[in-house]
Every structure is written in C-alpha cells, then in structure tokens.
Structure 1
Amino acid sequence: MSTRTPLAWKNLTSSWRKCLLAASGVGFAVVLMFMQIGFRGALIDNNVQILAPLDTSYANLAVISRSRYNLTTEQRFSRRLLEAVAGRCAGGRMMPLQLERGTARIHVAGRRPRPIRVMAVETDVPQMFRDPELRQRLARARQLGGALVDRRSKSMYGFASDVEELRTQYAELNGQQVPLIDFFSMGTDFSSDGTLLMTTDVYAQYFPWRNPGGEPNEVIDIGLIHLDAVDTDALQLAAAELQDLAPAQIQVMPTRDLIAREKAFWLRSTPIGKIFTVGVLLGLVVGAIICYQIQFTDITDHLPEFATLKAMGYPPAYFVRFVVAQSFYLACLGFVPGALISWGLYALLTETSGLIMAMTLVRATIVFTLTLGMCVVSGVFAMRKLFTTDPASLF
C-alpha cells in the first residue's frame, strides 16, 4: 500500500450519499454552535451599542455615577462634577450623554404608544463622533427640535423605512409632537427595541422632570472626556487621580474599561449570559454525539478491512492518524456549509431583529476549532472497538 494513498479521504467519500449525510450532521452542529455564539455575542456587544455612534478612542475617559452598576441603570450624577473632572484633564473636552428608557414613550400615527430608548448628546466637539455626517444630521434635528431614528428599531414602532416618508410621519414623544428628521444606525439590545437620538437641549423639552427642582440637563447619565494620554498606563493613572475628586459620587475609568465591565456584567451576572454559554456547550455535545455515531458506524462497517491492516502489522499510531485525518475532512465538509448557512441567518436576524450578529474571523476560528475537536475526540472514542478486536476472530 502506498503511503501516499489518501485512505481517510477515499474511505469517507467511497459513498457520497453517506458522506453528505455525515457532513449534514456535522453542519447541523456547526449551525447550532454559531447561533448560540452569535446570540451570546449579541447579548454582550449590543448592550454597549449606546457608545457606538461615538469615537471611544478619542473619548477615552468615562465618568458615571457610583451607583450605576450597568449602563441601563438610571443612576445619574451632577454635570458640575463632570465639568470639574474635565477641568483637571489635559485636553479636557467633554460630552455628556443622556439616556431615558423608563419614562419615554413614542406614539407613531396609526400605532399604539410604546416604550423607547432616547439618547441625547451635545455636538460641540466634532471629534467625539465616529461619523461626521451623524453630527450634521443631529445639528439639523436640533434646528427643527426633532430626533433621529435608529434604522434598526423594530418594525412594531411603525417608523417609515424611507427618509422622505419618515419626515412626513406624525409622532409624539411623551405627549408632545416630535419631528422625525433622519436615520442613524445603532441596533437594539435585550432591554430596548428601538432608539431615538437628539441633542441635549431638545431632550430637555421632552423630559423636564429628570431633575426635580432644577434644569433637566444638570444631571447626566454618562460623561465622556478626551484626555491627552499617550498610553494605557497614563490613562489609568489619570483616571485613578480624578476618581479622588468625588469618590463617593462618581466612578472614573478609561472608556474601554467601562465597555469591558458592561460586557462582563451581562455575561457573568445575568442568567441570559449563562444560558447562551450552556447553549454553545449543548451544540458541542450534540455534534460530538453525531460525529461519534457516524465514525463508529463507519469503523464497524469496515472492521474486516481495518482488522486486515492490523494483522499485517500496522501499528495503533497508523489508525490514530487515519481517524484524525478522517475527522479533519469531516469537520471541513460540515463546517463550510454550516458557516455559510449561519452567515445567512446572521444577516437575516440582524435585519429583522436589530441585534447585531456578525460573522467574524475570531468567531469562525472558535467554531472550527470546536468542530475539529469534537470530530477528533468522537473519532478516537469510536476507534476503541478496533483496538479491542482480535483480527483472527473476524476470519
């Protein structure tokens, strides 16, 4: 027998019907893992999407209330504290970010009123915006006393899909007419089905009760500051020093740390994060069972041939290499269609649900590694029958 003969490949493809069935089983497990990882990623990533319109590499320092344990918690702090922190920073440009979810209700003509998330920012610092065009749209919305609509908001709100039609829609925000000016793109999360974006002065008109006894914008949800820090250590040191200005009232941290903290909260401190993690493991177990059955059946069907090779003196290492090679081919045959189907499902769910599910290289690498691992491990377990069989008993 020539060592160049791709025995594993020929054995796997000797019956294309069986090969396709085997690949379909692996592909099912691949889709299951991709979807669970996709939902898990959407859970983590979409909950920090409120910062997506902003350039967090420029707005590199974040200030939040000491009581705010995640971004959806409505715990606010005084604007004067943000100004004090910004005043101590080299660079010192700041942007207050306002959020309202609990009391905001939008009523689009022809639909019933629904809760919606409302965000507000200032447009004084152009560098804070990831997209300069967004700042221009916000400036126009400010002139007209209106808002921008997240184009990924769920269809139940009734927002038009065309800009010109959107501008003619009649809508009320908390009982007051609100002009709908244009779109922006952000995405939904597990606590909000849609978002309006406006400037802080317009925002104050719709939420005058935010600060009883004072101006609505005198309290803020998140403060973003640009600090002229050239490296991570300098940024961390500056955040620690600024924290001492009001340690009982505010938390000061690099913006990337705020994002990481928010992701960790949803992943580790909520049951949803654990559910999707278990879902990934379930997909892995289901795939391993399918692969085991496929390879066990294949080895059983070809046991006389394997026994002949064993009787001819082929060592156990040869059969291990054979199973690993066949597992690799099986993993590839199942992964490619599974990844393509998952990519299509990601695009469909992103479009219909507002959740951002992206097919990234890291995600694909993780799933392929898991797929290859489950195929190899299940193949090794299936091969035990070959190792325990006496070749003489088969003839």
Structure 2
Amino acid sequence: GFDLEKPAFNLPEINQNLGTLQQADTLLFDRSSRGDYKQAIARIGQGETVSTEIKGRTIHLKGLFTVGSSFAADGSLMTSDQNFLRIVSQRQAGEVSVGLITLALNANPNAVVTALKSRLPHDVRVLTRAEFIEFEEGYWRRNTAIGFIFALGTLMGFMVGVIIVYQILYSDVSDHMAEYATLKAMGYRNLYLLGVVLQEALLLAVLGYIPGNLIAIGLYSLTRNATNLPIYMTLSRTIYVLLLTIIMCVMSGAVAVRKLRLADPADIF
C-alpha cells in the first residue's frame, strides 16, 4: 500500500491505474506471481474485475502490473495506503515500512543521508537507493538459509572440481612420465614442466567452461520460467565463474606436477 498522491514506484502500469486504486477495496495484481493464476490474469487483462477475499474481506482486482516473485513472496498486490489499512487492520497509519525521499537534481545523496542520520532517531535506517539494494542482497546472502545453501554449493562445487581436474592431470602426467623424464634429462627444469602442465590445466578450464556456461544459462532460464524468480546469468557472474574455474584448474595442475618434481630420469629409464 502506498500514498496515491505521492507514487513511489517507477512502474507505468501502476501509475496509469492510480485513479482505479482510489476505489475502496480495489487492488492491482502481479501477473508474474508464482502459482496457477492464468485464468484470473487473462480475465483481468480483458478488463474484467476479479473478486476474491483477503483476511475475510472482499477485494476487487482491476488491473495488472509486473514485478515477479521473490524468495520471500510468491507475488505482490498493489493498492492505496487506505485500502492497505482496511485489509491489514492490525497496522496503524503511522507505521511506515519504507519511505521514499525525492531529491532535487543538484542534491548530493550521500550528504543528504548524512544530514538525515544526524536528525532522525537511531531506529530509522537512512540509505541511498544503491545502499538499499545492497542491504537487501546482503540480508539474503548472510542472514538466511538460502544464502548459506548457495555459498556452500559454490564451495563444494569448487572443491569437487579441484579433485576431478587433479585426477585428470595426474593420470595424464603418469601416462606420459617417460616423455617428461626425457625433457628433464635434456636439461629442462621443473619450472618449464610446470608451465606445460599449467597450459593443459588452462585448456581444460576454457574447454570445460564453454559448455558449462551454456548449460548454466539454460538452467537459469528453466528455473526462471518455473519459479518466476528474477534469476539471470549476468556478465559479472560469468567472468567471476570463469576466474574461479581457471584458479581451480591451476591449483589442480600445481598439485599434479609434484610427481614430476620428485621424478628422477635415471629411475624412470
């Protein structure tokens, strides 16, 4: 619920229906909500009013907007602050969850934040838009089981990858020990042999990353379509995973080459 005289959302579909939301018990429905709402969404999209019930109160859905689900909610409803207070009767008009401050064009956001923090009580958190986004993301990463599961999955995937690549490189080194021993007998130092193994590790990283990234993009799409969660393979995440893959393979190569450093050409031949 929000003040219709001071719209807080940069969503054209909502701002175009401000007049509709002035009607009692009238709400807008999120078409990207997770659940079986196709029939209701189609009816609302055709201009029909869909009536339903929230907390024993009849409400009327007279418009659509698009936001999408999240880890905390399957969807959203938008309405006026007065309609919100009628539905959620335990909330008082003075209980504000989030307030939006619009700054002048020449205002410095960080200076305004500092000034507001000095004047407002300590139970009010003042954030810029970027800080608010970071605060929300940080909450899900650090304070919820979801963030822990994703972090643990990433760590386990990295460790398993190190072991698998190590086994591949170790087997390759063992199969070509005679060739490596010949190189050592010819005077090539361990640093050169390490470079050869690391080159193979980098090739494994790149050749494994390309199909892996394509599969991940497909899985992202399937997950997004199945859950309506805003999950995307961003460029920064793509680069981050590539760097982790390279580090993983280089670590495995550095461990696998230990056998070469200890090998004596005389013993091998």
Give the TM bin, normalised by the shorter chain: 0.7 to 0.9
The answer to whether 1:148 aligns with 2:6 is no
Write the distance in 2 (CA, Å) between the matches of 1:246 and 1:305.
73
Sequence identity percentage: 36
SS at match of 2:68: coil
Aligned pairs for 1:379-390 (under 5 A) are 379-390=253-264
Letter in structure 1 aligned against 2:67: M
> What corresponds to 1:266 in structure 2?
140
Are the equivalent residues in 1 in contact too, given 2:25–2:58 (CA < 8 A)? Answer: no
Query: Quick one: which amino acid aligns to residue 191 of structure 1?
Result: A
CA-atom RMSD in angstroms: 2.5
- Counterpart of 1:164 (choices 30, 36, 42) is 42
Cα drift, residue 140 of structure 1:
3.5
Does the alignment pair 1:393 with 2:237? Answer: no
Match status 1:342 vs 2:220? no
CA distance in 2, matches of 1:133, 1:186: 11
Q: 1:203 aligns with which of 84, 88, 94?
A: 84
Matched, 1:369 2:249: no
Cα deviation, 1:205-240, whole Å, max 9, x if unaligned, reads 3233422xxxxx343211101022646xx3233233
- Which structure has greater strand proportion? 1
Aligned CA distance change for structure 1 residues 386 and 191 (closer, same or farther; 3 Å): same
Which whole-Å CA distance do the structure 1 matches of 2:162 and 2:43 have between them? Answer: 52
Q: How does 1:1-395 map to 2 (within 5 A)?
A: 120-125=1-6, 128-143=8-23, 145-155=25-35, 158-160=36-38, 163-166=41-44, 167=48, 169-211=50-92, 217-228=93-104, 230=106, 234-247=108-121, 250-395=124-269
Q: What is the rounded CA distance, in whole Å, between the counterparts of 2:59 and 2:235 in structure 1?
A: 42
CA 382–249 in structure 1, closer or farther in 2 if over 3 Å, else same: closer
Cα pair 2:34 2:75 within 8 Å, conserved: yes
CA deviation vs aligned residue, 1:176-228 (integer Å, no higher than 9, x gap) = 222223332223233222221222233233233422xxxxx343211101022
Whether the aligned pair in 1 keeps the contact of 2:162 and 2:248 (CA below 8 Å) is yes
Query: Which residue in 2 is equivalent to 1:49?
Result: none
Q: Tell me how far apart the structure 1 counterparts of residues 181 and 112 of structure 2 sit (CA, whole Å).
A: 70
With normalisation by structure 2, the TM-score equals 0.87
Other structure's SS at 1:178 match:
strand
Aligned CA distance change for structure 1 residues 159 and 390 (closer, same or farther; 3 Å): same
CA contact (8 A) 2:68 2:229 kept: yes
Q: Is the alpha carbon distance of 1:350 and 1:376 closer, same or farther for their aligned partners in structure 2, counting shifts above 3 Å? A: same
Change in CA separation of 1:331 and 1:137 when aligned onto 2, cut-off 3 Å = farther
Change (3 A) 1:138 1:331: farther
Shift of 1:245: 4.0
Q: Is the 8 A contact 1:151 1:161 kept in 2?
A: no
Distance in 1 (alpha carbons) for counterparts of 2:120 and 2:179: 77
TM-score by length of 1: 0.61
Unaligned runs of 5+ in 2: none
Aligned residues of 1:240 and 1:253 also touching (Cα < 8 A): no
Deviations 1:80-129 (A, max 9, x none): xxxxxxxxxxxxxxxxxxxxxxxxxxxxxxxxxxxxxxxx2234346x44
Corresponding letter in the other structure for 2:207: L
5+ unaligned residues in a row in structure 1: which ranges?
A: 1-119, 212-216
Counterpart of 1:178, as a letter, is I
Residues 271 and 321 of structure 1: CA distance in aligned 2, closer, same or farther (over 3 Å) = same
State the one-letter code of the partner of 1:390. D
Decide which moves more: 294-303 or 187-196. 187-196
Q: Which has the higher contact order (CA 8 A, sep 6+)?
A: 1
On the 8 A contact 2:190/2:260 being kept in 1, the answer is no
> Equivalents in 1 of 2:197, 2:18: separation in Å?
60
* Equivalent position amino acid for 1:241 in 2: A
